[in-house]
């Protein structure tokens, strides 16, 4: 799951700052698309589960950071910041793990 969030943050075009609702929507779409693509790449997670997970992670991150702050984090992502982001999204990781386990 670390790779999913990392991929989503790295693949998003963060060079634009989110100054308008239109840019916020574009940021959200880019994040969700990158996250879902990363999550489903190996075929172990369905697109629906990936979308649920990715929306959960973005919602949780946006409770703590602004779009602009996430853009800066994405441009300067290091291991300490990645750990912080993962810690912020633990409930999403746990929910995904429960859903995957219940499918078995």
pLDDT at 16 (0 to 100) = 41
Q: Which of 4-8, 26-30, 34-38, 46-50 has the lowest mean pLDDT?
A: 4-8
Long-range contact list for 46-51, CB < 8 A, 24+ apart? 49/96, 49/99, 49/100, 50/4
N-term to C-term CA, the chain: 18
pLDDT at 20 (0 to 100) = 66
Pairwise CA distance, residues 67 & 79, whole Å: 20
DSSP-assigned letter for residue 15? T
Whether 47 shows a pLDDT value over 60: the answer reads yes
Q: Among all chains, which residue has been given the structure tokens 């300490």? A: 80
Q: Are 70 and 35 in contact (CB under 8 A)?
A: no
Q: Where are the domains of the chain?
A: 2-103
């Amino acid at each position: 799951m670390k790779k999913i969030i990392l991929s989503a943050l790295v693949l998003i075009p963060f060079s634009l700052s989110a100054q308008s609702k239109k840019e916020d929507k574009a940021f959200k779409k880019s994040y969700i698309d990158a996250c879902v693509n990363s999550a489903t790449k190996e075929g172990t997670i369905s697109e629906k589960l990936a979308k649920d997970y990715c929306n959960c992670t973005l919602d949780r991150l946006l409770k703590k950071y602004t779009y602009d702050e996430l853009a800066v984090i994405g441009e300067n992502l290091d291991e300490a910041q990645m750990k912080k982001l993962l810690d912020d999204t633990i409930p999403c990781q746990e929910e995904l793990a429960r859903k995957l386990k219940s499918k078995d």
